[in-house]
Amino acid sequence: MNRLTDHLRVAALPLDIKWADREANFKMLEEALTQLPERTDVLVLPELFSTGYADEPETLRNLAERNTGQTIDRLKELAARFGVAIAGSYLASTPPGIYNRAFFIEPTGEETFYDKRHLFSLSSEAKTFKAGTELPPVVRFRGWNIAMTICYDLRFPVWCRCRRNAYDLLLVVANWPQARGYAFEHLLIARAIENQCAVVGADRGGTDAYGCYDGLTQIYDCFGKPVGQLCGPFVVADLSRMRQDEYRRKFPASEDADDFVVQF
């Protein structure tokens, strides 16, 4: 394995999302990108980075966009300008439904999407959003296989299972409040350990009507150890495929994993 495919620099941005203010959120993102560490390969944004969470149907309809809308177009421009893949989620409209849709936008303009499967039933999310029906996709980028999930999905290990080492890195984009921060940290660690892969927990920052969020964004290696370091507004880690692959070879737990069939 050469250096280009071994090392991956990942940065997570705990954006202090301004509710329903797309322009303000993009302005903060663009300002942060001027401080992006050199040679960053993947930038991970929080859940619903451009709008924050909304639970009123009319507000949702007004904020939601198609995949061909302004939000994805602007992300493609930023990915190309800074030479970095950008992941996160946004309010997406695929009539007749509204979805919490994760995206992975490559510098070339290639796009991959995933709709949040597990909607938070303790809020109105499950009533106002449509649930996704497809397993998290695996994106091949710079020699790494990368999967995406969204917030509450993290609590469901079967859904996040890395079958036969199908992915090397799991991105978890979130709006996860400090009130449940202990669970967030330990669920991320568990997903890293059981799947023998690196995991990025990209939480938002600041506060909103649902709580405070600062301090939960972190990156974990395949041993479940925190490896993210603060670098300006980002949490950054340099990951090694060679080290991870060696661990998987020496301790091939995936070979003993259970197979299952997902039924909808």
Q: Which of 65, 76, 116, 197 is catalytic?
A: 116
Q: Report the DSSP beta bridge partners of residue 229.
A: 236
Distance from C-alpha of 80 to C-alpha of 89, rounded to nearest angstrom: 18
Is 168:146 a contact under the CB 8 Å cutoff? yes
47 is catalytic: yes
Q: Name the token pair of 90.
A: 């946004």
Q: Name the token pair of 89.
A: 């989620």
- Phi and psi at 196, nearest 5°, equal 50, 50
Q: Name the token pair of 233.
A: 């507004």
Locate all alpha helices (DSSP H) within 109-169, ordered by sequence.
125-128
Q: Which of 47, 65, 106, 125 is catalytic?
A: 47
Q: Name the token pair of 79.
A: 């990915």
Of the candidates 70, 84, 96, 88, which has an alpha carbon nearest to the alpha carbon of residue 34? 84
- Gyration radius (Cα) of the chain, Å: 17
Q: Which of 151, 160, 162, 222 is catalytic?
A: 151
Q: Name the token pair of 239.
A: 């990951």
Distance from C-alpha of 163 to C-alpha of 259, rounded to nearest angstrom: 8
Is 14:212 a contact under the CB 8 Å cutoff? no
DSSP state at residue 84: -
Q: Name the token pair of 35.
A: 């401080």
Active site residues: 47, 116, 151
